[in-house]
Copies of this chain bind each other. A is one copy, B any other.
Amino acid sequence: MLRENLTVAIEDYLKTIHELTLTDGRATTNRIAECLEVTPASVTGMIQRLASADPPLVAYHKHHGAKLTPDGERAALEVIRHHRLLETFLQQTLGYTWDEVHAEADRLEHVISEELEERIAQSLGNPTQDPHGEPIPNRELQLPEQSWVRLSDLAPGQRAAVQRVGSPTPELLRYLSSIGMVPTTGLAILDRSEFDDNLRIQIENQPEPVVLGLKVTQQVYVEVV
């Protein structure tokens, strides 16, 4: 879509900052370092480079984390579009399962051309969701309307249907598969406990709701009914 020059490392930083801004509200040095598995000192160095690049890709004030500039945002969305199209393609066309696509897409996303991006999108009929239920930015890098809501944004007691679970935690995955439920196809009723952040799941055709002993993380998305 736009001009390049960006290294793999830089694209990873931009993607991470974008992601953290969405989920945590801000992208701090330490969180970025965690996500990328580098030291905080390395993050500081890179953020400074990105902020003094031409054009700047992040806005930066010492000790207060990073925000993407419009240019940085565009670059991030480009990588995210690559990633999610690739995940979808690997699943639909090459028979990957749901949980195998991520690592592969994480490497491919940096090297595919706009030409390949477009051919993949076409061959899939320009999908708007990837296999995890995450939205795929369109050709103009706009995110589609999203019916998903962050679990942590639900009011306690509010109910929601889990038709798909975006980026589920390993614990949730393990549990769902232990009851024979594949997250992309299963259906359950959730509510957020009023007393704590544990997940409470009502399985269809089962009498009792199940309380999962795991924290509600901001990475879990559900569809409100």
A residues contacting B by CB (< 8 A) are: 90, 93-96, 100, 103-104, 107-108, 110-113, 115-116, 119-120, 123
Contact = CB atoms under 8 A, between A and B. Distances in A.
Contacts of A115: 100, 104
A190 to B, nearest CB: 33
A93 B90 CA distance: 13
A119 B107 contact: no
Contacts of A104: 112-113, 115-116
Main secondary structure of the interface of A (DSSP, over half): helix
A100 B115 CA distance: 10
Contact of A119 (B94, B103, B112): B94
A184 to B, nearest CB: 19
List the number of copies, as a whole number. Answer: 2
Contacts of A107: 111-113
Nearest to A120: B94
By Cβ-Cβ distance, the 6 closest A-B pairs, closest first, are A107-B111, A94-B119, A104-B116, A104-B113, A111-B111, A108-B111
A107 to B, nearest CB: 4
A128 to B, nearest CB: 20
A115 to B, nearest CB: 7
Contacts of A95: 119
A90 B103 CA distance: 21
A138 to B, nearest CB: 20
A93 to B, nearest CB: 7
Given A94-B119, A104-B112, 5 more contacts: A90-B116, A93-B123, A104-B113, A107-B111, A110-B111
A111 B120 CA distance: 18
Contacts of A90: 116
A107 B90 CA distance: 18
Contacts of A93: 93, 123
Contacts of A110: 111
